Amino acid sequence: MISPQQIQTTMARYVELVDAGDIDAIVALYAEDAVVEDPVGKPAIVGIAAIERFYREGLGKTDASASLTGPVRATLNGCGAMPFRVDLNWGGKLCSIQVIDVMEFDAAGKIRSMKAYWSDVNLELRGEA
């Protein structure tokens, strides 16, 4: 079982990789059969190939930066949650999105489930790009 400290490290690393735009490294954090809901309420993205496509078509086409806005919380049974902010150019508009990600990990320390909690109410427009 993955330790709470490993969860904290991996989740903080995820935000660093989003900030760096390193899609290959982000995808490498996921298990082959992982499931992503981003945002929660949209159809699930299932499997590593679909998850890679999701990041390349989303994050890969924006000039995004990301930063933690609070500590990563971790459980003793392979789950974690964290608040963070993503700043990006979305269709010519500069915006910030306040997000909470909840992740479940497998015994090997790979992300098996990621749920991103955010919607339009968590989006702040900051002007034109």
Average pLDDT in the 84-91 region?
90
Determine how many CB atoms are found less than 10 A away from the CB of residue 74.
23
What are the Cα distances from residue 58, in Å, to 8, 55, 76, 80, 95? Answer: 25, 5, 32, 23, 15
Q: Is the pLDDT of residue 91 over 90?
A: no
pLDDT for the residue numbered 92 = 84
Task: Report the C-alpha gap between 103 and 111 in whole angstroms.
Answer: 7
Catalytic residue list: 14, 38
pLDDT in tens, 72-86: 999 999 999 999 999
pLDDT in tens, 25-62: 999 999 999 999 999 999 999 999 999 999 999 887 78
- 20 confidence band (pLDDT: 50, 70, 90): very high
Query: Residue 76: which CATH number?
Result: 3.10.450.50
Contact 111, 34 (CB under 8 A): yes
Taking the whole predicted model, whether its pTM rises above 0.85 is answered as yes
Average pLDDT in the 88-116 region?
94
Domains held by the chain: number: 1
Nearest to 10 by CA among 93, 54, 72: 72
Q: What residues make up the domain containing 69?
A: 4-128
Contact 112, 104 (CB under 8 A): yes
Q: What is the DSSP string of 107-124?
A: TTS-EEEEEEE--GGGEE
pLDDT for the residue numbered 116 = 98
